[in-house]
């Protein structure tokens, strides 16, 4: 990727309309205190990780391979420390506060109940989608808003980037039939999908937003309840300085094993992570591209994304839009509340790996933006966090390979296995701290566990997810590493339509995708096994998932295993249990 240059046209907008309410939040004593305390916690955790790593490598002297290991470990420490600190902070708030979302987002407590005063657009971006899946949740949302007496305050816009004429015709026909049953439904299709989703939304704001003061971004697989939508609008009306409020997004009830297990742990981790992050980031919050409410005028003025200096478009646009709004003096906040905000996760491992590659390619573009003028320090930190999220993958893979080389050449003979195991466990604990904190909260707080069917049911789902992710996470890390290493040489992740239907995977398809991962895992495992049983024991948590990549891919998409998990309600979410209860009542 090209380095940032004065010629890059993607610059923060210097205009600051007089209507923007300026605020001193970034210099208040409360903000400084919070961020200082949080920084101290991050530094303490980072120092501990570095010390434990050095304690494992130093005995007997540090050879070349061990110096390289240390050099690879050091850049991963900030993300590990941030993960742990966010989780510790978030768990403390979740356990101590009677109203954690209101504690970290005071505007929620000032929000006025009842129908909103402003008009809000519901902007749904679609491209080659199955409208039979997209439209029913939107119909339920519109019906619910009508029941709340707020139908005239919302406009639903389906913003299409579908290019195939036949698919577009079917899409238009389905939406026309839908619009005949629901008021305030509009459809617009672009002939050219310039700028991808970011361009789609900006075209809507320029040409069609009309009287709307706010818009709520929804993806084709997004589901939001009327109460969640009304809550977001009420927050924006209560705080005129807010440009974006991003709600948590949890997985929709999933039948297939892969998304079912993955999103069970992801949900627990996001709860503690987002709560802790919202406490110290305050007005410099995240934007994840959908299930968020946005104030139209500042977004139109400041979040317009021109091409980068090399002519390419910004792929991971959402975080850039957030930091540009912050640079213009607007507030971006996170609402760490799960209820009423859902999305579909990839139905199987191949789709998940492809999505990760796409996100990784987008996040690596942020290198070009870090040195641009007018971003706030917090904005640059957000971009850096997004880079570190993916940069850790090739570094962790390099550490594993270097450790194998060092062990095979006898360089690790003096390494105390106990100290090495402690260092490895400490890093592992930090990376999984969000999920572990979320699990701890649910097991400690009976009302949280009750939504999952009780503590025993929750623990059963957590155990299944934990076992699966211990195998899948190293495999996912290796896949990201392989992709990012080849990215500078022209490999690209495309924006192809996503397969959102659960399906089984043939063994030959899994083998064609994952044979390199399997070979790498087998080679590393054999190297550690020839060194010593202790070395193999320390390495297996990281290599076993690679060795078992092909069967893991097949089994996690197997309809029989999926049905077995579903029938026993293993890793069932609150929404799934509510759906089952509703079905029983209607039967």
Tell me the pLDDT tens digit for each residue of 512-535.
Answer: 999 999 999 999 999 999 998 988
Give Rg (Cα) of the chain: 24
Mean pLDDT of 568-581: 94
11 has a pLDDT exceeding 80: no
Which backbone phi and psi does 231 adopt, to 5 degrees? -65, -45
12 has a pLDDT exceeding 70: no
pLDDT of residue 6: 31
Mean pLDDT of 250-278: 95
pLDDT of residue 362: 87
Lowest mean pLDDT among 3-7, 48-52, 547-551: 3-7
Report in angstroms the alpha-carbon separations of 37 from 118, 282, 384: 39, 14, 20
Q: Listing from the earlier edge strand, what are the strands of the sheet with 331-335?
A: 185-189, 154-160, 120-126, 214-218, 292-295, 242-247, 331-335
Strands (E), 79-234: 120-126, 154-160, 185-189, 214-218, 223-224
52 has a pLDDT exceeding 80: yes
Q: At what angle do helices 559-567 and 257-281 cross, to 10 degrees?
A: 60
pLDDT of residue 28: 65
pLDDT tens track for 333-359: 999 999 999 999 999 999 999 999 989
pLDDT of residue 394: 94
The winner for highest mean pLDDT among 1-10, 226-235, 308-317 is: 226-235
pLDDT of residue 152: 94
Residue reference for tokens 């380095």? 3
449 within 8 A of 442, measured Cβ to Cβ: yes
Looking at the chain, the whole-number percentage of residues with pLDDT higher than 90 is 77
Mean pLDDT of 302-330: 88
369 within 8 A of 11, measured Cβ to Cβ: no
3-state secondary structure of 123: strand
pLDDT level of residue 220 (50, 70, 90 thresholds): very high
State the DSSP string of 373-438: TT--HHHHHHHHHHHHHHHHHHHHHHHHHHHHHHHHTTTTTT--HHHHHHHHHHHHHHHTHHHHHH
469 has a pLDDT exceeding 50: yes
Mean pLDDT of 378-387: 91
Nearest to 333, CA basis, from 151, 111, 141: 111
pLDDT tens track for 541-553: 999 999 999 999 9
Mean pLDDT of 368-397: 89
pLDDT level of residue 361 (50, 70, 90 thresholds): confident
490 has a pLDDT exceeding 70: no
389 within 8 A of 79, measured Cβ to Cβ: yes
pLDDT of residue 582: 87
566 has a pLDDT exceeding 50: yes
31 has a pLDDT exceeding 50: yes
pLDDT of residue 502: 55
Give the separation between CA 361 and CA 367, rounded to whole angstroms.
11
Q: What is the 3-state secondary structure (H, E, C) of 457-494?
A: HHHHHHHHHHHHHHHHHHHHHHHHHHHHHHHHHCCCCC
pLDDT of residue 492: 57
Lowest mean pLDDT among 83-97, 210-224, 399-413, 494-508: 494-508
Lowest mean pLDDT among 11-20, 433-442, 507-516: 11-20
User: Vertex 258, ends 383 and 495: CA angle to 5°?
Assistant: 45
pLDDT of residue 232: 97
pLDDT tens track for 157-213: 999 999 999 999 999 999 999 999 999 999 999 988 888 899 999 999 999 998 999
Give the separation between CA 194 and CA 192, rounded to whole angstroms.
6
Hey, what domains does the chain have and what are their CATH numbers?
27-93+384-586 (no CATH), 100-378 (3.90.550.10)
pLDDT of residue 479: 95
327 within 8 A of 12, measured Cβ to Cβ: yes
pLDDT tens track for 132-149: 999 999 999 999 999 999
332 within 8 A of 396, measured Cβ to Cβ: no
555 has a pLDDT exceeding 90: yes
441 within 8 A of 275, measured Cβ to Cβ: no
Q: Average pLDDT, whole number, for the chain?
A: 90
368 has a pLDDT exceeding 90: no
Sign of the torsion angle spanned by Cα atoms 23, 26, 30, 34: positive
pLDDT level of residue 13 (50, 70, 90 thresholds): very low
pLDDT of residue 472: 96
395 within 8 A of 73, measured Cβ to Cβ: yes
Give the separation between CA 80 and CA 226, rounded to whole angstroms.
37
State the DSSP string of 300-319: HHH------TTSPPPSSHHH
224 has a pLDDT exceeding 70: yes
State the DSSP string of 503-537: ----HHHHHHHHHHHHHHHHHHHHHHHHH-HHHHH
- Count other Cβ atoms within 10 Å, centred on residue 170: 14
16 has a pLDDT exceeding 50: no
pLDDT of residue 496: 41
Mean pLDDT of 254-277: 95
Helices within 211-338 (DSSP H only): 226-238, 257-281, 296-302, 317-327
1 has a pLDDT exceeding 60: no
pLDDT level of residue 29 (50, 70, 90 thresholds): low
């Amino acid at each position: 990727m090209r380095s940032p240059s004065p010629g890059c046209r993607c610059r923060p907008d210097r205009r600051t309309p007089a209507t923007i309410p300026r605020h001193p939040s970034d210099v208040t004593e409360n903000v400084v205190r919070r961020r200082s305390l949080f920084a101290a916690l991050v530094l303490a955790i980072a120092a501990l990780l570095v010390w434990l790593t050095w304690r494992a490598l130093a005995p007997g002297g540090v050879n070349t391979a061990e110096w390289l290991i240390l050099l690879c470990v050091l850049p991963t420490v900030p993300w590990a420390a941030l993960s742990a600190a966010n989780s510790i902070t978030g768990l403390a708030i979740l356990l101590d506060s009677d109203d954690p979302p209101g504690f970290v987002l005071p505007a929620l407590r000032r929000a006025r109940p009842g129908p909103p005063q402003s008009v809000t657009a519901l902007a749904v971006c679609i491209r080659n989608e199955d409208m039979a899946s997209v439209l029913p949740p939107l119909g339920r949302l519109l019906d619910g808003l009508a029941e709340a007496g707020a139908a005239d305050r919302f406009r639903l816009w389906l913003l299409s980037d579908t290019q195939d004429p036949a698919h577009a015709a079917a899409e238009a026909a389905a939406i026309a039939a839908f619009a005949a049953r629901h008021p305030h439904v509009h459809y617009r299709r672009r002939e050219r999908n310039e700028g991808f989703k970011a361009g789609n939304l900006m075209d809507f704001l320029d040409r069609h937003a009309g009287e709307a003061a706010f818009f709520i971004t929804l993806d084709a697989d997004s589901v939001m309840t009327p109460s969640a939508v009304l809550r977001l609008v009420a927050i924006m009306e209560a705080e005129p300085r807010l440009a974006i409020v991003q709600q948590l997004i949890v997985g929709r009830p999933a039948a297939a094993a892969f998304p079912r297990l993955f999103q069970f742990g992801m949900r627990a981790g996001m709860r503690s992570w987002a709560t802790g992050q919202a406490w110290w980031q305050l007005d410099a919050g995240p934007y994840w591209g959908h299930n968020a409410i946005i104030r139209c005028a500042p977004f139109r003025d400041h979040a317009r994304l021109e091409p980068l200096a090399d002519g390419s478009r910004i792929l991971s646009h959402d975080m850039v839009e957030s930091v540009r709004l912050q640079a213009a003096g607007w507030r971006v906040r996170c609402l760490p509340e799960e209820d009423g905000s859902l999305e579909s996760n990839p139905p199987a491992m191949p789709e998940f790996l492809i999505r990760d590659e796409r996100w990784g390619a987008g996040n690596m573009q942020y290198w070009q933006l870090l040195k641009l003028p007018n971003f706030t320090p917090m904005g640059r930190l957000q971009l850096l966090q997004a880079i570190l999220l993916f940069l850790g993958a090739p570094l962790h893979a390099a550490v594993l390979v270097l450790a194998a080389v060092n062990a095979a050449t006898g360089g690790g003979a003096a390494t105390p296995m106990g100290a090495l195991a402690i260092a490895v466990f400490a890093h592992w604990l930090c990376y999984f701290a969000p999920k572990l904190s979320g699990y701890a909260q649910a097991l400690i707080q009976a009302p949280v566990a009750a939504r999952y069917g009780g503590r025993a049911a929750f623990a059963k789902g957590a155990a299944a997810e934990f076992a699966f992710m211990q195998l899948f996470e190293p495999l996912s890390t290796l896949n990201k590493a392989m992709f990012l290493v080849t990215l500078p040489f022209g490999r690209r992740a495309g924006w192809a339509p996503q397969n959102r239907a659960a399906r089984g995977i043939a063994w030959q398809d899994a083998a064609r995708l994952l044979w390199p991962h399997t070979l790498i895992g087998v080679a590393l495992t054999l190297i550690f096994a020839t060194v010593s049983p202790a070395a193999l024991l320390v390495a297996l948590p990281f290599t076993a998932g690679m060795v078992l990549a092909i069967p893991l891919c097949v089994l996690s998409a197997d309809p029989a295993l999926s049905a077995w998990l579903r029938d026993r309600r293993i890793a069932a979410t609150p929404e799934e249990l509510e759906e089952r209860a509703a079905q029983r009542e209607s039967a």
